[in-house]
Structure 1
Amino acid sequence: MTQDPARRDAPYRRGETALLLVDMQRIWVEPGLEHPYDERPYYYGRLRDTVIPNQRRLLAAARGAGADVLHTVIESLTSHGRDRSLDHKLSDMHVPKGAPEGRVIEALAPVEDEIVLPKTSSGVFNSTNIDYVLRNLGVRYLIIAGVVTDQCVDMAVRDAADRGYLVTLVDDACATYSEERHRAAVNAFGGYCWVSDTATVAARLDALAGEG
C-alpha cells in the first residue's frame, strides 16, 4: 500500500495525477456571447492575456506527462433544460444540449480520450459522476484551473478536498470578475488545497514526463 502524502504540496505521482479545466467554454470566455467586453473588461482581459495562455501551458504539460485531462462545461442534458438544478433555473442559466456556445474554446479543445463532463449545477461533484471517473482512473492528485474562481472553481476545490483528493489550485490560470473577488476567493478556500502557479505546476508535470 502506498503511504499517504504528508502535505498538500506533495510531489505528483505518475498515473495518479489529473488536470481539471472548469467551464472554459465559449459562452463564458468569448466576449459577446454572454456579456460584451465593455461590461467585464478585467475578466475578459485576464482570460485573454493570462488564463488561456497559462492553461495551454498546463494542457501541454499534462498531455506530455500522460496525465488524465478532464474538462467540465455547463450544459443541460436536454434542449429545454428541465434537468437543470433549481439554482440554475432561478439564475436563468441554461446552455442547451449540443449548443455551439457550450463547447470548450478552440484554444483548449479536448483531444481524443479527454473527458468532457456536462454539469447542471455549479459543483461538478454534485451533478456529474466525476468522483466515480477519477477513482476509476486511479487519480489522487487533482490540478484545477478555470472559471469562475469564486463560484464553480471554488466548489470544485472544496468538494474534491472533502472526497480525499490532493488538490492543486493554479492561481494564475483562474479568473473571476475582479481582482478583489479572485484574491478573496483564493484566500477563503486556500486551506483546502495547495495554491500554486502555472510555471511551478507545469515544471512538476514536465518532471513526470521524464519518468516515463
Structure 2
Amino acid sequence: MSDTALLIIDMFNDYRHEDADQLAANVAEILGPLQRLQHAARDQRAVDIVYINDNHGDFNASGRDIVRSAQDGRYPELVDPLLPTDGSAFLTKVRHSVFYATALDYLLQRMGTKTLILAGQVTEQCILYSALDGYLRHFDVVIPSDAVAHIDEDLGTAALEMMRRNMNARITDSAHCLPRACDSDIAQR
C-alpha cells in the first residue's frame, strides 16, 4: 500500500449511448497515456490502482459483468488494453462521483491514501465531480490531462481549469503524476 491511489474511472463502457462516437474518439487519444500510466503504477508499486465503473443501472452487475459487457460493446479496442489484473480493487458506482454511494472513501482510508490521481472518462462529468468530492474529503487531487477524455472539448477544458482553481488540483501529464515523477518534478522547481 502507498499513500497514492490511481483511480481509473468509467473506462469499461459499451459505447451504446447518444454521444458514444464523440466520446470514443477522445478515449482513443488518451488510451496510450492511460495505459502507460497504469503500467508504470503497477511496475513502480508506488501507487494503488482502483478501478471504478458505472454499473449502468444494473445493481446485480459485478466488475466482471461490467467488463464483459464493455468488451462486447461497440469499441472493445478501447476496453481490452486496460483490463484489471487479478487482485485489483474494482468498485461499481451509480452516479457521476466515484464517492457517491460507494465504499471508496472507506477503502482509501484503510489504504492510508492521501493523494488521488483521477484518470478515465468523462472530464466534464465524472472526473470533475469525483475531483470535487475528493477535495472535500481532504485528498490531494492530481489530474493527468492526457489521460482523461471529454465529450465536449470546451467543457473539458473548463472542467480542468475549475479543478485547478477551485479544488487545488494539480493538472499535469501522465508522465509526471506518479509519486517518483512528482518528487523529481518538485525538486526541479
Shorter chain as denominator, the TM-score bin is 0.7 to 0.9
Shift in Å, 1:44:
2.3
Partner of 2:110: 136
Provide the secondary structure at the position in 1 that maps to 2:146: strand
Give the TM-score taking structure 2 as reference length. Answer: 0.80
What is the letter of the counterpart of residue 64 of structure 1? D
- Name the CA distance, whole Å, in 2 between partners of 1:176 and 1:126: 21
- Name the CA distance, whole Å, in 2 between partners of 1:137 and 1:154: 23
Unaligned stretches of 5+ residues in structure 1: 1-13, 80-95
Contact 1:23 1:72 in 2 (8 A): yes
Paired residue total? 171
Unaligned stretches of 5+ residues in structure 2: 72-77, 185-189
Q: Deviation string for 1:109-128 (max 9, x for gaps)?
A: 11122111111111111120
- Who wins on radius of gyration, i.e. which is larger? 1
Contact 1:62 1:205 in 2 (8 A): no
Contact 1:20 1:70 in 2 (8 A): yes
For the aligned residues, what is the CA RMSD? Answer: 2.5
Q: How does 1:164-203 map to 2 (within 5 A)?
A: 164-191=138-165, 192=167, 193-202=169-178
Provide the secondary structure at the position in 2 that maps to 1:168: strand
Provide the secondary structure at the position in 2 that maps to 1:135: helix
Shift in Å, 1:17:
1.1
Percent identity for Structure 1 against Structure 2: 25
What is the letter of the counterpart of residue 180 of structure 2? R
Contact 2:116 2:141 in 1 (8 A): yes
Q: How does 1:1-212 map to 2 (within 5 A)?
A: 15-28=2-15, 33-35=16-18, 39-40=21-22, 43-48=23-28, 50-66=29-45, 67-75=47-55, 76=57, 78-79=59-60, 98-99=65-66, 100-102=68-70, 105-191=79-165, 192=167, 193-202=169-178, 204=180
